[in-house]
Amino acid sequence: MPVLAERVGELLAPALTGPDAVLVDATLGMGGHTIRLLQAHPELTVVGLDRDPEALRIAGDRIAAAGLADRAYLVQAVYDEIADVVSDLADRGRVGAPSVAGAFFDLGVSSLQLDRADRGFAYAQDAPLDMRMDPTVGVTAGELVNSYSAGELARVLREYGEERFAPRIAAAIVRRREKQPYASSAELVQTIREAIPAAARRTGGNPAKRTFQALRIEVNDELGALRRAIPAALSCLDVGGRIVVLSYHSLEDRIVKRALAALTVSTTPLDLPVELPGTGPELRLLVRGSAAPTESEIAENPRAASARLRAAERIRRAA
């Protein structure tokens, strides 16, 4: 069961009823949300994006097996390319306009990437230190930990992993790599475990969790891409269109919150008695704050436990 599948479907449904409705699934993964939405809306077209070619292949096979391939366009792309992808498909006549009725983001690392030990995302399994969502391009986590200075490593761990022992871990990594460069996740996990005080290791789960999260975010520029992606998705959204975002840690959620909140207020100067034309809010929030999963949703999919959901509807186009 995809994370919060029922709630995501309910929030998007009012925007997806038209005969020409197009939804962008900006984080296709293995296609679980897309399949459910295509089945629920027989006239819907989905544009599915993912930077991981293996995810695209698996999702394509699953969508085809469900008999839905004629209403799905799958594109290898990072989600900050959403506007360019939609515009290109419109130019080629695959979708009716360079705008969409819905946009959906399920952020973070996918089940496919976590479950494949050889991808190096999981700290509980020994594997080469890769962590690239697109394994054909970019710098690996191994290259990063073997080349960044102690200061750069500490910054990454502190900012992206909210790791309070970031300087200790960074210094330990630099000392260890001077003897032998890192090649596997198990080697890095051991360094992290030894760098963290024993008392701190007794609580909070695996001590490597925050470091691995931080390295993954840095390797894939996840937060930079997200800062660009939400405004890009909103720029494509029709009036009446809806955006739903699932995030899994506070840094992601904060970026989404700020991007949505900025368009929910009037830009008329506060000292004017009436709202000026073209300055009203562009978005209406659909949930109060960020919605957490229920116990039943966590039981359906334990990976929903840390999920936070935000959603909005476009009520006005920018002037």
The per-residue pLDDT for 278 is 63
Burial class of 223 by CB neighbour count within 10 A (0 to 12, 13 to 18, 19+): middle
213 is in an annotated binding site: no
Per-residue pLDDT, 201: 76
| DSSP for residue 287 | S
Q: What is the CA radius of gyration of the chain?
A: 21
Give the pLDDT score at 270: 62
Q: H helices within 71-184, ranges in order? A: 82-91, 111-115, 141-145, 150-161, 166-179
Residue of 79, 98, 80, 99 whose CA lies nearest to 90: 98
What letter represents residue 188's amino acid? L
What's phi and psi for 269, nearest 5 deg?
-55, 140
Q: DSSP of 5-43, one letter per residue?
A: HHHHHHHHGGGS-STT-EEEETT-TTSHHHHHHHHH-TT
CATH number for the region 118-220 comes to 1.10.150.170
The annotation status of 151 as a binding-site residue, yes or no, is no
Is the CA virtual torsion 26, 27, 33, 39 positive or negative? positive
Domain-by-domain residue ranges, the chain?
A: 5-111+222-314, 118-220
β partners of residue 50: 76
pLDDT score recorded for residue 1: 81
Residue 48 counted as an annotated binding residue: no
Instruction: State how far the Cα of 189 lies from the Cα of 123, in Å rounded to an integer.
Output: 7
Please list the pLDDT of the chain residue by residue as tens digits (319 residues).
889 999 999 999 999 988 889 999 999 999 999 999 999 999 999 999 999 999 999 999 999 999 999 999 999 999 999 999 999 999 888 887 788 999 999 997 766 566 565 566 677 778 889 999 898 889 999 999 999 999 999 999 999 999 999 999 999 999 999 999 999 999 999 999 999 988 777 776 788 889 999 999 999 999 999 999 999 999 999 999 999 999 998 999 999 999 999 999 865 666 666 566 666 789 999 998 899 999 999 999 988 999 999 999 999 887 6
Please say whether the beta carbons of 268 and 298 come within 8 A. no
Q: Which CATH class is domain 5-111+222-314?
A: alpha beta
User: How far is the C-alpha of 236 from the C-alpha of 247, rounded, in Å?
Assistant: 21
Rounded to whole angstroms, how far apart are CA atoms 286 and 47?
23
Nearest to 78 by CA among 113, 105, 112, 96: 105
What CA–CA distance (Å, rounded) separates 11 from 286? 8
> Does residue 146 sit in helix, strand or coil?
coil
Q: Is 240 annotated as a binding residue?
A: no
Cα angle for residues 69, 86, 32 (degrees, 5° grid): 40
* 50 annotated to a ligand binding site: yes
Q: What is the pLDDT of residue 116?
A: 62
